[in-house]
Amino acid sequence: MKRRTRRSLPASLTAGALLAVCVLVAVAVIQRLTGNRPWLDYRAVAAAVHNAHWTDLVPALISGAVALVGLVLLWAALLPGKRRILPLTGDPDSGADTVGYRSALRAAAAEVDGVERARLSTGSRKVKVRVKTARTRTDGLTDAVRTAVESRLDHIAPARRPAVSVRVRATREGS
């Protein structure tokens, strides 16, 4: 199971543009049916479009803008979204929320004795842990953090086991 984010922004933009066009056309039709002068005069729009040439600046800019918006929306629809559910070993329908997964690994790193602050970034193949400590000697802290994070990974059991890299930085007093 690899549930991904929804494409709400491109869908909302497309729906908003289509709604605006539909409202404009509906208002013009209702005004024409009731005998009022419409906001959008069909004959004036048709005459302006008919008199425009592709070599003019305005049609070129409008068509370029429409093509650019279309390409951006197509690009946003074709790219996969961020994975929200991490597949686990065992049942193919089992998964863990990626936010909870990241929080659990960060908590495992932060629980190690001597760790002041732990930052973590996860990918499909690698987990990068950055640790700050107040210790002046950081001997063995890298291995302790790696062991704690790998132990938590054993407990979570993701379908693809990522490699763990740890970087320890000692904070300096007085700076």
What residue ranges define each of the domains in the chain, with the CATH number in brackets?
A: 8-78 (no CATH), 86-170 (3.30.70.1350)
Exposure of 47 in the CB half-sphere (CA atoms within 13 A): 5
Over residues 30-76, the pLDDT tens digits come to 988 998 888 877 788 888 888 888 888 988 898 999 999 889 888 88
Partners of 163 in beta bridges: 126
Residue with tokens 């279309």: 70
DSSP one-letter code for 38:
P
**What is the rounded CA–CA span in Å between residue 88 and residue 8?**
27
What is the mean pLDDT of the segment spanning 128-138? Answer: 90
pLDDT score, position 2: 56
Residue with tokens 């729906």: 15
Burial label for 56, CB within 10 Å (0-12, 13-18, 19+), is exposed
For residue 153, the SS3 value is: helix
pLDDT score, position 174: 42
Partners of 129 in beta bridges: 120, 166
Q: Distance from first CA to last CA of the chain, Å, rounded? A: 47
Which amino acid appears at position 64 of this protein? G
Task: Give yes or no for residue 175 having a pLDDT over 50.
Answer: no
Q: Is the pTM above the cut of 0.75?
A: no
DSSP one-letter code for 82:
P
